[in-house]
A and B are shown apart, each in its own frame.
Chain A
Amino acid sequence: MGKRVLLIEDEPNIIEAISFILSRDGWTVHIHEDGTTAVDKVRAMPPDMIILDVMLPGRSGFDILRDLRGDDTTKSIPVMMLTARGQDKDRELAMRLGANLFMTKPFSNTEVRDHVRDLIGA
């Protein structure tokens, strides 16, 4: 089984596209669509990396990231933020909270795949 990527995202078509791309690249992709329970999900089964959307139902990706970085069991998991909010202040906030990468939608499939390779290989 390939290394595990947890995709925390609520848009079904984006989930399907990213899952397809990463699966074909050899990763095992797990999906979680709810912001309020995302941290519990990570703690229960820590993945090798996380792709985290910012605007999620129930809780923002920034809040989730803050909790992950404050928990010893999850703080070293690479996180790639994925968002439609590409403003500088959002990027700065994500990096300040400890994101490893910040990608804005719309994204290129190649970029997503390459970033995942880089982050899990790092």
Chain B
Amino acid sequence: MVGQKLAGSRIRERRLDRGLRQAAVAETVGISASYLNLIEHNRRRIGGKLLTNIARVLEVEPALLIEGADTETLDGMRTAASVFGKDVEVARAEELAARYPGWATLIADQAQRIAALQAQVQALGDRMAHDPQLSGALHDVITAVSGIRSTAAILVGPEDLDADWQKRFHQNIHDDSLRLAASGEAIVALLAAPEADLAGAAAPTEQVWAWLAQTGFHVTALEDERETPQSICAAAGLGPAATSILLPYLTRYAADVAALPMGRFAKLARDTGYDPSQIALQTGARFDQVLRRLASLPAGEGHPPIGLAQCDASGTLQVFKQIAGFALPRFGGTCPLWPVFSALARPEQPFQQDVVLPDGEETRLRCFAVSNLQALPHLGAPPTATSTMIVVAHPPDHGPAPLPIGISCRICPRMGCESRREPALTGVAPG
């Protein structure tokens, strides 16, 4: 494993950080300096008591020396390189993450932050250009200023004005000044948007995902039927577009709760090893309904992390619940090999597919997917298709050979992949 392979690099880095000589550490743990040198250059594997002893000398948890950078951080670093970096040593991202995990996380987080800010700037730019309220307020300002400028120029001009004209023009300037003040206040109110409005800079779908992520995709108020989808939407504080997406999701969630109440469902999930086909057989529920209920199991009760993806016939993701290893690319399209997409080609046929990610740990995930067609009540209208997939972390057993997949072509090292849409970044592929 790469994490294990680079444990030596982390030992060396930690030792140097602490200003310890190689020979001194070696002597303390009872090995030769040359052997420690081999370990530090990743030429000897390390574990057990020796690892514990070295970790104690270096005053660090043994796990921190063994564990490599997580997949999410590595993906974030590679994405940062693809978008913001030229001539970055992408191939050495893992080494950097292993040696300097804090800096690696910072790079990934900053890239994500920059991307989010760029999206926000874009959204605000669009808003400046197209927001009818803002446009109207600016028009009012310019109109009032035009009136004031022209009228004031007449008043201070060389022509003699009789008292009536002077009075009228003074009144006009007064009227326009009031209008200008009101328009100015309106613009300030529009631009000094509350945080909720800035959140509105994100796409409505992303707002809904963010809201659902806060609940862990487990909406307690619907589980115990304390609230209705409508009342939850009203309290969610989302904009009209996001609410129009959240309401049907919660309505379906409520129907899923009615069909498969959580208490009994959670026990059945445990008893069947989180096997949706077994649950569907025992409950008579639809397969997609079982998948959604598995993804809404509450956190902190010993259930495995379960991700969820749902897309329409175009492959556009409508719902997405992230777990470790199962993430959306920050830029560019998603890997087309995820079963949520291939399920569209085999409607109404539930299937299981283990997948393996191209990260250093070769993370293995178990996917269950099904796509469903729904006929519309119009002659000749094509049916709507919805594909639903759950992703279960840490599958308890090794089933058939897993399908090698990725997150996105740009950061995927699988050069021979026949589904590749675009080349990977230089350095992503193994050298």
Contacts and interface: CB of A to CB of B under 8 A. Distances in A.
Interface residues of A, number: 19
> Chain B contact residues (Cβ within 8 angstroms of A): what range?
20 to 34
B145 A17 contact: no
A11 interface: yes
Contact of A105 (B143, B154, B175): B143
Interface string A8-26: 0001111011101100100
A14 B173 CA distance: 11
Given A14-B150, A106-B145, A109-B157, 17 more contacts: A11-B146, A13-B147, A17-B150, A17-B151, A17-B172, A21-B154, A24-B159, A55-B139, A84-B143, A85-B139, A105-B145, A106-B142, A106-B149, A107-B146, A109-B150, A109-B153, A109-B154
Interface of B: 138-139, 142-143, 145-147, 149-151, 153-154, 157, 159, 165, 168-169, 172, 175-176
A21 B150 contact: yes
Given A105-B142, A106-B142, A13 B172 contact: yes
Given A16-B168, A16-B172, A105-B142, A11 B154 contact: no
30 contacts: A11-B146, A11-B147, A13-B172, A13-B175, A13-B176, A14-B146, A14-B147, A14-B150, A16-B151, A16-B169, A16-B172, A17-B154, A17-B172, A24-B159, A84-B138, A84-B139, A84-B142, A84-B143, A85-B139, A105-B143, A105-B145, A106-B146, A106-B149, A106-B150, A107-B146, A107-B149, A108-B153, A109-B150, A109-B154, A109-B157
A18 B147 CA distance: 9
Nearest to A20: B154
Nearest to B141: A84
A12 B144 CA distance: 11
Interface of B is mostly: helix
A103 to B, nearest CB: 10
Contacts of B138: 84
A106 B153 CA distance: 12
A84 B150 contact: no
A107 B139 CA distance: 14
A26 to B, nearest CB: 13
Contacts of B150: 14, 17-18, 21, 106-107, 109, 112
Nearest to A106: B146
A85 B151 CA distance: 21
B65 to A, nearest CB: 61
Contacts of A20: 154, 165
A53 to B, nearest CB: 10
Interface in A12-67: 12-14, 16-18, 20-21, 24, 55
A42 B326 CA distance: 67
Contacts of A12: 172
A105 to B, nearest CB: 4
B153 A84 contact: no
Nearest to B173: A13
Interface string A91-107: 00000000000000111
Contacts of B146: 11, 14, 84, 105-107
A14 B142 CA distance: 11
Q: Which 6 A-B pairs have the closest CB atoms?
A: A13-B147, A17-B150, A105-B146, A84-B142, A106-B146, A13-B172
Nearest to B150: A17
A21 B155 CA distance: 11
B336 to A, nearest CB: 39
A11 B146 CA distance: 10
B247 to A, nearest CB: 36
Nearest to A87: B129
A24 B138 CA distance: 31
A24 B154 CA distance: 11
A108 B149 CA distance: 8
Q: Which of A13, A20, A24, A85 counts the most B-chain CB atoms under 10 A from its CB?
A: A13
A90 B157 CA distance: 32
B382 to A, nearest CB: 38
A84 B146 CA distance: 9
